[in-house]
Every structure is written in C-alpha cells, then in structure tokens.
Amino acid sequence: MRKKELAKEVIERLKKEYPDAGCSLEYDQAWKLLVSVRLAAQCTDARVNIVVEKLYEKFPDVKALAEAPVEEIEEIVRPCGLGKSKARDISACMKILWEQYGGNVPEDFDALLKLPGVGRKSANLIMGDVFGKPAIVTDTHCIRLANRIGLVDGIKEPKKVEMALWKIIPPEEGNDLCHRFVYHGREVCTARTKPYCDRCCLNDVCKKMGVE
C-alpha cells in the first residue's frame, strides 16, 4: 500500500475510533493555550490543567501575567517541572503579546515561532486548534505512531517527520489526525508497555504487524 493510500486509511479508521478527539489541554483563550503548551513539556496534560487554574486565579489576563514577577510565576508552575525556564519563557512571551500584539496571539506561523518557548510543535497546535489552519503537531505520539504504522520510515526528528507527513496527509486532516494519534498512543499503541496490537483498528494495515 502506498503511503498516501495508507494515510487515507489511517485517517478514516481513527476518525471512527475517536470521533471526538481534541486537545487535552484545557483553555478558553488563545494565550492560555500558549501557556499550557509551554508547561506541558516533560509534564502530563492533566497536571498542567490543574496548575494553570491557580496561575490564572492570580494572573487572569495577558497584562497581569506580563507584569508578574518571574519568581511568582515560577512558584506556581514548579509542579510541572523545569519551573525556572518555563516561568522565564511564559513571562517573556506574555510581555511580547502585550507590548507588540495588544494582548492577542498572532495568527502567523513565523510570528509564533519568534515567541519565547514556542517551537514548531507548539506553533502548529496554535495554528490548528485556535485558528483552524492546516497543522501537523509532531509530538512523541505522532512520531512513534507514524513510524510504527509505516507513514514514515525511521525518522525521529520532529521537523523531518512533519515535512514527510505534509506530503501524504491532506492539509485539512492533519490537526485532527494528530489529536487522534495522542488518544490512540495512550490507549492502544503505547510507548511504555507492549502495544495492544490485538485490539488495534489498524493492525491489518500496520507496518509493525508485517504489512507492507
């Protein structure tokens, strides 16, 4: 099966398996997703969702967070790990949003990449979830599943995986597919245990199962 055909099959099957899959980081404004994505590095989304509640109680908007002492931000976000660097990035990012964009998140991929603590994965998530633009979020689940299934061949570098997937995945499907990869990666195609191939909806098309 050619990679484009495989991608189409994977998209359709995961749609049926996880019809309501979406971002597991909770937010109601774009800037809050920026904060949560930075905190989610090497931390579970569930913990981030708890920690940000306390952060927003004290600093409820972009201006408040931009003006907040970095030490106070660090004290609150410490449970997410890497507190010092995350607090520094969040503070610097909110300052730029407030001073250069009037408190709004820019709707431009390159502008997002210039924000402190924002890489391609985070920028794609913002573009897809907030602005509804084509996006491919190459997190650990996406990279692992794309390789196992056979959508990419032995590529582990996030940007290279992203570029390879752009060639075979319809632009309008990328963002939702990556969310479904997260669900499937947590529930079935797991990383820390042996994957549950016997109950996988992709087992008859998956490269790991010996299907070429």
Binding residues: 189, 197, 200, 206
Q: Which among 126, 147, 124 is positioned nearest to 136, based on CA atoms?
A: 124
Q: Which among 205, 174, 208 is positioned nearest to 189, based on CA atoms?
A: 208
Q: Which among 13, 3, 73 is positioned nearest to 38, based on CA atoms?
A: 73
Cα separation, 95 vs 103, whole angstroms: 9
Q: Which among 62, 25, 57, 22 is positioned nearest to 40, based on CA atoms?
A: 25
Binding residues for [4Fe-4S] cluster: 189, 197, 200, 206
Cα separation, 169 vs 36, whole angstroms: 27
Options 133, 139, 207, 208, the catalytic residue: 139
Q: Is 194 a catalytic residue?
A: no
Do residues 38 and 93 touch, judged by C-beta distance below 8 A?
yes
Phi, psi of 170 (to 5 degrees): -55, 135
The token pair that represents 167 in the structure block = 């060639």
Options 32, 86, 89, 121, the catalytic residue: 121
Report the C-alpha dihedral over residues 65, 74, 130, 190, rounded to 10 degrees.
-170
The token pair that represents 159 in the structure block = 């940007």
H or E stretch at 53 = helix 45-58
Q: Is 63 a catalytic residue?
A: no
Write out the catalytic residue numbers: 121, 139
